[in-house]
Amino acid sequence: MINIILFGKPGAGKGTQAEFLKKHYGFFHISTGDVFRYNIKNNTELGLLAKSFMDQGDLVPDEVTINMLKAEVEKQPNAQGFIFDGFPRTTAQSKALDLFLEEKNMAISATIALEANDETLIQRLLKRGQDSGRIDDQDEEKIRNRFDEYNSKTAPLIAYYQAQGKFHTIDGIGEIAEITKRIQNVIDSL
């Protein structure tokens, strides 16, 4: 079983690439953002809690995110592998994920980071905000706040996964098919 973490700032293309990878490899895609948005749309307790953080451009607390992720993995006992998109975002989440997967006799195979410069990502997010109506993608200040959160809380994950030999960087700029091929090259080499 291959389990992949797609890593990168908001707007880096994690969700787009996950769709191609799940079709190609038969992985199950878990996007914390999609799960949160589903819960928000349906006004669940988790959704309302997540919305209060997301509307401010903040990350949802670890405990809420981890419990949600566990539930998603448990729903897919026959999965060929998982793509984790938007999780983990902190070292504490990474350690919790490793422990949970170990209990299931699984492990993370690779962390693949989609790299792109901030200005390109801001333009992508503002366009996505116009097209989707997502509040968190319509305000440049909130977007920059999300980048600051990413840099301060998520950047330490690079060292965590590098120490395990599981960190790979991919150029996230270019045609979608080109980026997909770069990611497939990493996965095929595992």
The pLDDT tens digits of the residues spanning 14-39 come to 989 999 999 999 999 998 878 877 87
Q: What is the pLDDT of residue 86?
A: 82
The count of C-alpha atoms lying within 13 angstroms of the C-alpha of 153, restricted to the half-sphere facing its C-beta, is 20
Active-site residue identified among 9, 37, 51, 146: 146
CATH label, 2-188, candidates 3.30.70.141, 3.10.450.50, 3.40.50.300, 3.40.50.150:
3.40.50.300
Is 14 known to be catalytic?
A: yes
Is 182 known to be catalytic?
A: no
Active-site residue identified among 14, 37, 51, 182: 14
The pair of structure tokens assigned to 4 is 């992949």
pTM of the model: 0.83
Is 144 known to be catalytic?
A: no
Is 37 known to be catalytic?
A: no
**What counts of helices (H) and strands (E) characterise the chain?**
9, 5
Is 134 known to be catalytic?
A: yes
Q: Mind listing the pLDDT tens digit for each residue in 139-187?
A: 999 999 999 988 888 778 999 999 999 999 999 999 999 999 999 999 9
